[in-house]
Amino acid sequence: MEVVAEAADGQQALECCRRFSPDLVVMDVRLPEVDATETTRTIRQEFPRTVVLVLNGYGDPDILADALEAGAAGYILKSASPQQITDAIGKVLEGASPVDQEIASELLLRLLDKRRREEPTSPHAPKDSVGGDHAAAAPPPASLTRRELDVLRLVGRGYTNSQIARSLFVSVSTVKKHVQRIIAKLGVADRTQAAVKANGMGLLDDRREG
């Protein structure tokens, strides 16, 4: 790995991306000028192959949820050791999603709560509406098998492939295949964005079955 540039704020980060087209951006969530969420969203729009890894000092679920919704692939805490940071960078470049499980669970709850609050209250509104958009605009839930839904919900809770395999009593290679199919069916770039999109569709809510 080679560090090609450093930036002091969001605007500089965008300029560096436009100049160097990096594979990875490690983004502090608290940036001056253009904030990290907006910077992440712009980077992902302009450079969809650039991975954004969020660096946070407090693990604030609200801030991290915004970053993930903007397109970040994962996050690490500033309290992490150098080895943990290096491992997280390696994982995210391989398509994994480095997240802290405790925070991941809280993130899921925040995202679910946000979705429920945004749902229309009219009894005539479509059940799958989120923020006024019907879920039919996205791949229908029926395109995912029940097993894929099981895997997706565990991905949303921050489980690794090994942990998912142990929870579902299957092999790690089987989990990897499920994750790959989930990503393809949802039309996203990585497992984190699969969880974020699935949340918006209501697929991470355990109350919704079938």
Do 94 and 15 lie in one domain? The reply is: yes
Q: Token pair 């996203």 is at which residue?
A: 188
Give the tens place of pLDDT for each residue, 13-61.
Answer: 999 999 999 999 998 887 777 788 889 999 999 998 899 988 877 666 6
Query: Which residues have C-beta within 8 Å of that of residue 207, sequence separation ≥ 6?
Result: none
**Count of domains forming the chain:** 2
pLDDT recorded at residue 112: 58
Residue 78 lies in a domain: yes
Flag whether pLDDT at 109 surpasses 90.
Answer: no
CA gap 140, 160 in Å, rounded: 25
Q: Give the residue, 133 or 89, on which the prediction is more confident.
A: 89
Do 18 and 91 lie in one domain? The reply is: yes
Domain that holds residue 190: 121-201
Do 86 and 132 lie in one domain? The reply is: no
Give the tens place of pLDDT for each residue, 161-198.
Answer: 888 999 999 998 899 899 989 988 888 877 877 887 88
Do 155 and 196 lie in one domain? The reply is: yes
